[in-house]
Amino acid sequence: MSNIFLDNFIINNNEAVLNMESTATFLGISTATVRNWVKCGHLQSFDENAKDFFYKKDVENIKSRILSGDLEKMNKRANKAGAEKTFLPNEYIEDRDSFEELNFIVDFIKDNNIIIFPALLLVSLNLLKKEGILSKISIEDIIQKKDLSFSNKQIKEEIKSWISEIKEGEIKKEFAFLLDCNIPKQRDILGFLYQSLLLEGRKAQSGSYYTPAEIVNEIVADYVKKNSKVLDPCCGTGQFLLAFSDNIENPANIYGIDFDEIAVRIARLNILIKFKNKDFAPNIVCKNTLFEIGNYDLFSLNDENIKDFDVVATNPPWGVHFSKEDSKKLKIIYPEILSLESFSYFLKKSLDLLRGGGVSSFILPESILNVKVHKDIREIILKNSQIKKVVYLDRVFKNVFTPVVRLDFKKNKVSNNKILICKGNEHHSVEQMRWLNNQDFVFDIHASEFDTEIIERIYKTNYITLKNNADWALGIVTGNNKEFIIDNPQDGFEPIFKGKEVGRFALDNPSSYIRFVPEKFQQVAPIERYRAKEKLIYRFISKYLFFTYDNKQKLTLNSANIVIPKIPNYSAKVIATLFNSSPYQFIFQKKFSSIKVLRNHIEQMPLPLWDKKTFSEIIKMVDEIIGGNDNFVKLDNYIMNKFSFSEKEKDYINKFNK
């Protein structure tokens, strides 16, 4: 059946059928939410053998119910792409004292229901007056579309084009405030206003969040010289372009591309104001960088100038939902990118557009460093460039909870390169070859050379892993905890444990109880895995490893997952000891730096093949801990000694884990 469904939809008995991705995009939710709705009975699959396909009419009906408010609960669970609110990106402001004035302008536009395009035109004219480029002007002049007097011919042409697209009635006399209000000094004031007026949901769908000035300035200071030829392939309103112009003397060397027409208009005006005494047309265009620039194929504009850049710097869109048609094009143009991730395409494109020895600097989600799906672009970067620097920036975008990194690389194949890692005031370097040798080409930026020596000490021991040597199970997803979970024990109910109740070696007292009727739950693993003779339970959402030994067939919710080791003569108690130990906490944080304990992480952890006497000693101490004796420190030190750590190394590991 699966070979039939190769496209986004098919026609079955004259009815359209949508696949999982198209359904999620149409509803403005994630594919995970679609699956949950199916399990809850809100949406029915096309066929038992095609569970990821749905009749289009059913999907449209769900959409109507959401919009009408009939499915309020579902609407609340819909992801961020459905958000209908704006927010002020205060991280985008250089002068914090200006925030209130800018906020007042934004509120005026929203309170008067002014359309974004004419609102930005009026503020632009105000700005041009302030810059001395435009003579005195009134709101009537704009309404009547009178000829305006500018000191710069190119700016006059830009504004003429703006005004020609304003429809009758879109600008009213009462909007005159925007022509005369005070505009604080700010590098990209128009960009700030545009960003502030955009719906948050639209930004989430397009993956568009603008970059704080401090980050942009540091990139420019590192790489941009006065004669550099530079490009921002996702330029937005021109934050990077304006920063480039602080160093670059000739505006003809500054290139910008974006598919947002309003943003491009702002970016062009920004650069023209910056070089207001020069006669030039900006090299800033409204195009799709991935399809229309420099591919030299059916989809390309074949622009000979857009290549051989000294610097390409940008904050690319993340997580864009591409259409079916665009996805097909991307597979043809970028066959090496299997993830379909938008930032990966832009990274590959930047490599193509750089000259030999040119440098690229990207602002990216931390997930690029270690998530398995992004190993394709990591391999491309490692094998085709010299990575110069990775800066851990943490959370820098308002309302975006993803930690962020800055990744700099030079178009130059060097295998023995040293990479500078910056995290706050801490700096260290790593060998690029190390990342080339890592599983899935992981960029483990949190491990210094000394950290790596400690980790390698553990991995040099003869070991086995749980990969292909264990059964796995997710905790129970009821679909409705209020219906199935109670807070106090009752007849017919048994304890069910949450992730926070998973301690080291033993479970804490339960706070929840359940009547185990698996056929009624949304998601249940095979029952025999919950009821295994012995198993390990671990916290799923956690910065640290917490593994409990269970031989009483306890149930868990989905915040606590299960692994059942299948290694002959290797006790689950020994595995729990290793994973709970300080050295393995160290490995987990330095190697994966995750707040989720994934199966892929656990499967990479080494299980030393020590002798029976060692195993017996460990099991004896574990039994004492389970029995209530607090001798974890003794057990932890025993594990440290087995790896022959020095006192210095022990202290280092212990301090890290505090």
pLDDT digits 0-9 by tens, 214-226? 899 999 999 999 9
pTM: 0.75
Q: Select the CATH number that applies to the domain covering 470-657 from these four: 3.90.220.10, 2.60.40.10, 3.40.50.720, 3.30.830.10.
A: 3.90.220.10
Q: What angle do CA 367, 369, 371 make, to 5 degrees?
A: 55
pLDDT tens figures, 506-562: 999 999 999 999 999 999 999 999 999 999 999 999 989 999 999 999 999 999 999
pLDDT at 613: 96
CATH of domain 9-78: 1.10.1660.10
Distance from C-alpha of 378 to C-alpha of 486, rounded to nearest angstrom: 47
pLDDT at 45: 76
Q: Sign (positive/negative) of CA torsion 623, 625, 629, 631?
A: positive
Q: Is 234 helix (H, G, I), strand (E, B) or coil?
A: coil
Categorize the per-residue pLDDT at 89 as very low, low, confident or very high, splitting at 50, 70 and 90. Answer: low
Distance from C-alpha of 182 to C-alpha of 180, rounded to nearest angstrom: 7
pLDDT at 207: 44
In this structure, are residues 310 and 356 in contact, taking their beta carbons and an 8 Å threshold? no
In this structure, are residues 410 and 355 in contact, taking their beta carbons and an 8 Å threshold? no
Distance from C-alpha of 335 to C-alpha of 329, rounded to nearest angstrom: 10
611-624 mean pLDDT: 96
Give me the half-sphere count of Cα atoms (radius 13 Å) on the Cβ side of residue 241.
35
pLDDT tens figures, 471-509: 999 999 999 999 999 999 999 999 999 999 999 999 999
pLDDT at 66: 64
Distance from C-alpha of 262 to C-alpha of 648, rounded to nearest angstrom: 58
pLDDT tens figures, 30-43: 666 677 677 556 67
Categorize the per-residue pLDDT at 49 as very low, low, confident or very high, splitting at 50, 70 and 90. Answer: low
Residue 554, Cα to own-chain centre: how many angstroms?
A: 35
CATH of domain 209-262+270-444: 3.40.50.150
Mean pLDDT, all residues of the chain? 86
Domain extents in the chain: 9-78, 95-185, 209-262+270-444, 470-657
